[in-house]
Amino acid sequence: MPKTPPPAAPTAPAPAPADEPEPEDAAVAPTDEAKELEELVQKGVKPRLDLAAELKKVEEGRGAEWTPKTRLGRLVRSGEITSMSQALSCGLRRFSIQAVVGNRDGFVGIGMATGKEVGPTIRKAIDNAKLNVIEIRRGCGSWECGCGTPHTVPFLVIGQAGSAEMTFKPAPRGVGLAVGDIAKKVLSLAGVKDAWGFARGQTRTTVNAAQAAFDAMRRTVTTRISEKQASRVKITTGPSMPVASAPAAPPAGGAA
């Protein structure tokens, strides 16, 4: 699995000590924040700047123990930014975008990006998702179906991300995706057409929910199965139709 590159930025000079006034310009400052966010993403933490909560703390006088970690935070702390509208218009707000890509036939990828502008950040997230594309296994599911085409998950899979846990079970053809909305996006882009799903933990945290669904897709290939099992429920890897000549269609993108 290739590590996603950090958001594009020239190599930053050593950051100035935090207690000094900041001489560096806005183009340099976000680099460290981006790394910070990247680390949080890898730890499964949702990288969303909870500005409202931070401002509320300051207003309630609880800001005394608050040590700002971001440039925006420091501006709020120092009193240069006092209102939410100022905070939003100062150009330091950062977006966090998660994208899922897939060809709806056995390949799916997920990626994240953070940035100041929505458009480039979405493109970056899609690029990262494409770098993370995996080939999944699908199957017919069970004796309940017996159609022999790879339309569902090959066996029960459980995916996890943070505190989100998603379980998918093979379903007979025609059931559709009896799963949550976020899982539905991931599974349909992966080419899984029928499945029963169960969610546990904080699945309203959409970043982790999508990541957990993707993790479940990954388990379809990392779980060991016997040949007998594989042939019984017609488990196949990758596209359902053998691609004779033409390369696979470019992945359809979807940003969540």
Minimum distance between the CB of residue 149 and Zn ion, rounded to whole angstroms? 6
Number of residues that bind Zn ion (CB under 5 A): 4
Query: Residue type for 93, please?
Result: R
Minimum distance between the CB of residue 104 and Zn ion, rounded to whole angstroms? 17
Which of 145, 223, 219, 153 is CA-nearest to residue 192? Answer: 153
Longest dimension (CA), the chain: 69
147 binds Zn ion per the rule CB under 5 A? yes
Those residues with Cβ within 8 angstroms of residue 16's Cβ, 6 or more apart along the chain or in another chain = 22, 23, 24
153 binds Zn ion per the rule CB under 5 A? no
Q: Which stretch binds Zn ion (CB under 5 A): 30-38, 87-95, 143-151, 155-163?
A: 143-151
Minimum distance between the CB of residue 100 and Zn ion, rounded to whole angstroms? 25
Question: Would you say 99 or 140 has its CB closer to Zn ion?
Answer: 140
CA dist., res. 41 & res. 106, Å (int): 26
CA dist., res. 164 & res. 157, Å (int): 14
Minimum distance between the CB of residue 57 and Zn ion, rounded to whole angstroms? 54
173 binds Zn ion per the rule CB under 5 A? yes
Which of 113, 155, 145, 118 is CA-nearest to residue 130? Answer: 113
Question: Would you say 136 or 209 has its CB closer to Zn ion?
Answer: 136
Q: Which stretch binds Zn ion (CB under 5 A): 54-62, 124-132, 144-152, 239-247?
A: 144-152
Angle between helices 181-190 and 206-222 (to 10 degrees): 40
Question: Would you say 99 or 145 has its CB closer to Zn ion?
Answer: 145
Count of beta carbons in the 10 Å neighbourhood of residue 248: 12
210 binds Zn ion per the rule CB under 5 A? no
* 108, 140, 166, 179: residue in contact with Zn ion (rule CB under 5 A): 140
145 binds Zn ion per the rule CB under 5 A? yes
Question: Would you say 77 or 104 has its CB closer to Zn ion?
Answer: 104
Q: Which stretch binds Zn ion (CB under 5 A): 79-87, 136-144, 163-171, 210-218?
A: 136-144
Minimum distance between the CB of residue 118 and Zn ion, rounded to whole angstroms? 41
Minimum distance between the CB of residue 230 and Zn ion, rounded to whole angstroms? 15
Question: Would you say 113 or 140 has its CB closer to Zn ion?
Answer: 140
Question: Would you say 102 or 154 has its CB closer to Zn ion?
Answer: 154
Minimum distance between the CB of residue 70 and Zn ion, rounded to whole angstroms? 51
Question: Which residues are near Zn ion by CB under 5 A?
Answer: 140, 145, 147, 173
